[in-house]
Amino acid sequence: MQSFDVYFLGELLPDVDPAAARREVARLFKIQEDAADRLFSGKPLRVKQALDADGASRYRAAFRDIGALVRIVPTGSPPPVAQTAAAAAAAPSPAGSGPRTPPAASDGITLAEPGAILDDTRPPPAATFDTSALQALPANSGSLEDCHVEKPHRPIPDISHLKLVDD
């Protein structure tokens, strides 16, 4: 089973008040607000390690609820690098999709445009069957006798020696 590490780089969703996000991150980590400043340094800080996919997803949701973003990488991978503001602004965003997490440099994953065909392999050719030797019988003319399986006769055992006793 694959495990994942969760990193926080101090990145916030667009239109999130940084002061409010710092307060919420401090509350999430149960630390003083002034101590939360080091979490927003832009350097990757591993907040949880060796989680399954479901656990990492819960961390992502908890941070997203307060307006912050985390990066999830496979355990043992190098920490993610912070994306520069210029690169984040240049990244295309599908119309109407709302905010999304920019992919980490090590992910190598991109999103396709809506409606794009993802699998361009050709489907296999249609199977052809020769049915020329088959014919249909008229309705109600068939029987299931050929499906009947004759079972060998088994004698009923002698149970005359058994008695029912009232308690």
Tens-digit pLDDT string for the chain (167 aa): 799 999 999 899 988 998 888 889 889 888 888 878 888 888 888 999 999 999 999 999 999 999 999 999 999 888 888 765 444 444 444 344 444 444 444 456 777 788 787 777 888 899 999 999 998 888 888 788 888 888 899 999 999 999 988 87
For residues 28 and 64, the answer to whether their CB atoms sit within 8 Å is no
pTM exceeds 0.85, yes or no = no
The topology (CATH level 3) of 4-78 is: Ribosomal Protein L30; Chain: A, (3.30.1390)
* Alpha-carbon distance values, 145 to 49, 139, 148, 149, 150 (Å): 66, 16, 5, 9, 10
The one-letter amino acid at 50:
A
Measured on CA atoms in the order 70, 72, 73, 75, is the torsion positive or negative?
Answer: positive
Q: Is the dihedral of CA 71, 75, 76, 77 positive or negative?
A: negative
Query: Apex CA 43: angle with CA 81 and CA 52, to 5°?
Result: 70
Res 56: pLDDT: 92
Structure tokens at 131: 């049915």
Residue in this structure with the two tokens 């399954």, named with its chain if needed:
52
Domain boundaries, the chain: 4-78
